[in-house]
Structure 1
Amino acid sequence: MNTVIHLFSGLLVFSLGAAVGSFLNVVIYRIPAGISLLYPPSRCPVCLTRLRPYDNIPILGWILLRGQCRYCHTSISYRYPLIETLTAILFLWVFLLLGWQWQTLSYWIFLSWLLALGMIDLDTLTLPHPLTKWGLITGVVIQTVMPGLTGGWQATLIGFSESVVAAVIGIWLFDLVRWGGAIAMKQDVMGGGDGKLAALIGAWLGWKLLLLTFFLGSTLGAIVGVGGIALGLIHRRQPIPFGPFLAVAAMVAALFGDALMNSYLDWLFPGMIQGIILAATHGGAIV
């Protein structure tokens, strides 16, 4: 019976994630174009025919239509079901890690926001201010309210202050990198939106995981940039969006950040961390 419940819960979460991914496709396409998210209803961008509900089934709709509009037979990008599938997998992954709790919902919201911003930056080399602004505000609110559910007003105050401080660190850190890079390279090395995205990430994850995100995102961006130049896929002066790297790094930090940092500290200071813990818990000397 428990197995059936778990399978049903997993299928429900996967379906929810796919549905959210379908909405993210709308966000990714419409916000840069300045089109309302609510009107007009979903339609083919070529023949403008309004899509029927059965054409809009996440993932399955694209498969049943064989990647073509039912009405004008224009090809539908594979990216639509890909984003729906990726969102569904992320939702399921978070659920398997955390189960049914409020933190699960907050992670779903955060990862969805990152996915939308990363894809928009990849398409347009921009990070829309409304998305970064409201993502930051939502992060501060959630990181303020959630600790208070179990820890009272003191936890609420701590959550609020830590979230705001991390957001400030994020935007200052990236502004310093942007200004320093512009002086050293005599060209813009980072867009102004990247600092706002960093502030958003800091508001959600705190300053420690923000720094981990910065390290992972910079490393990933360097690997892709150097590799792309070496293979002739990217020109040396070609602008590369940093948002997607930050988004991927923040997802990794959110899901595995604590484990990564603990593993790194254990490798860097073997035995020291355990010794400190033993000394603190038993009141003895570090041996």
Structure 2
Amino acid sequence: MGSFLNVVIYRVPRGRSLLYPPSRCPICLTRLKPRDNIPILGWLFLRGQCRYCHAPISWRYPAIELLTALLYVLIVAVSGWQGQTLVLWLLSAWLLALALIDLDTMTLPHPLTKWGLITGLLARGLTTGLGGITEGIIAAVIGIWLFDLIRWGGAIAFNQEVMGGGDGKLAAMIGAWLGWQGLLVTFFLACALGGLMGGFGIALGWIQRRQPIPFGPFLAVAAIFSGLFGRQLIHLYLETFLPGVFVP
């Protein structure tokens, strides 16, 4: 899966097919053999160079493969083997691709968010039935409206764009997968994480005030965390601030 995500991250922003041409060196265009495409190990065996033209191969490729593997292991460790595990695997892969594309290009491609939303509704339908699909649709609407309100309000208050249009579509996709409760947990976690990282970045001089930074990666990390621990966080919050409130 991590190897496939590398293809998605590289080709989707460039408008290229995910199926054709097969994997090849971007420098000499030589088609890679199966032994060159072994996740992580292939890069190590080749010592980070193309077998044919010896052009350097970015360390990012095996890093994404390793990150995907570790993420999948974490999901199994937390949720065990069940239907929801497969859902979280697929969601986390989708989010990882979108997060890294946003870091690279400051965009969240519409085809990925659109099909991610549709796939999320189908996944909810398979795991929770028609009621789950209905909740997913409501959560998707809440997500895009919430972020559009922030976008419009920020533009009025600061006289500049404070959020890209793709963030609302990503929020709608997350709502389709996690429902409205998971969406709200994701929203608050992403805002907290983004504010914290932005504050550190400004304090350390890494970024300038009002410098655009991609919000998609914060949403992606928060959504994965919400998918794994969202219900526990909701119960903890209610027990702390609203004791006696029952959450099914």
Shorter-chain TM-score bucket reads over 0.9
Alignment of 1:165 with 2:138, yes or no, is yes
Q: Can you give the 5+ residue segments of structure 2 that lack an aligned partner in the other structure?
A: none
**Partner letter of residue 124 of structure 1?**
T
- Which of 246, 264, 267 is residue 219 of structure 2 equivalent to? 246
Aligned residue identity for 1:245: F
* TM-superposed deviation, 1:98: 3.0
* 1:223 equivalent in alignment to 2:223: no
Please give the alpha-carbon distance, in whole angstroms, between the structure 1 residues aligned to 2:186 and 2:47: 38
In structure 1, how many angstroms separate the alpha carbons of the residues matched to 2:95 and 2:86?
Answer: 14
Aligned to 1:194: 167
Q: Which aligned pairs between 1:1-287 and structure 2 lie closer than 5 A? A: 20-147=1-128, 156-269=129-242, 272-273=243-244
* Partners of 1:26 and 1:211 in 2: CA distance: 31
Letter in 2 for 1:116: A
CA distance in 1 between counterparts of 2:213 and 2:82 reads: 38
TM-score normalised by length of structure 1: 0.83
Deviation at 1:122, TM superposition (A): 0.6
Identify the range of structure 1 (177-186 vs 41-50) with the bigger mean alpha-carbon deviation: 41-50
Q: Which runs of 4+ in 1 moved over 4 A?
A: none
Contact 2:79 2:228 in 1 (8 A): no
2: CA distance, partners of 1:133 / 1:191: 16
Give the Cα separation in 2 of the matches to 1:103 and 1:225: 33
Take 1:246 and 1:97, find their aligned partners in 2: how far apart are those partners? 20
2-side partners of 1:230 and 1:94: how far apart? 34
Q: CA deviation at 1:45?
A: 1.1
- DSSP 3-state at the match of 2:202: helix
Distance, in Å, in 2 between the alignment partners of 1:250 and 1:97 is 15
Task: State how far apart, in whole Å, the 2-side matches of 1:210 and 1:235 are.
Answer: 29
**Deviation of 1:264 (Å):** 2.5
Choose between structure 1 and 2 for higher RCO, CA contacts under 8 A separated by at least 6 residues.
Answer: 2
Q: How many Å separate the matches in 2 of 1:103 and 1:232?
A: 42
Q: Please report how far the alpha carbon of residue 57 of structure 1 lies from its aligned counterpart in structure 2 after TM superposition.
A: 0.4
Q: Which amino acid aligns with 1:93?
A: L
In the aligned structure 1, how far is the partner of 2:52 from the partner of 2:199?
44
Q: Which moved more, 1:135-144 or 1:225-234?
A: 225-234
Amino acid at match of 1:210: L
Stretch of structure 1 that moved more, 190-199 or 49-58: 49-58
Structure 2 equivalent of residue 12 of structure 1: none
Question: What's the secondary structure of 1:94's corresponding residue?
Answer: helix
Deviations 1:35-93 (A, max 9, x none): 11011111111111111111100011111111121222222111111111111111112
RMSD: 1.3
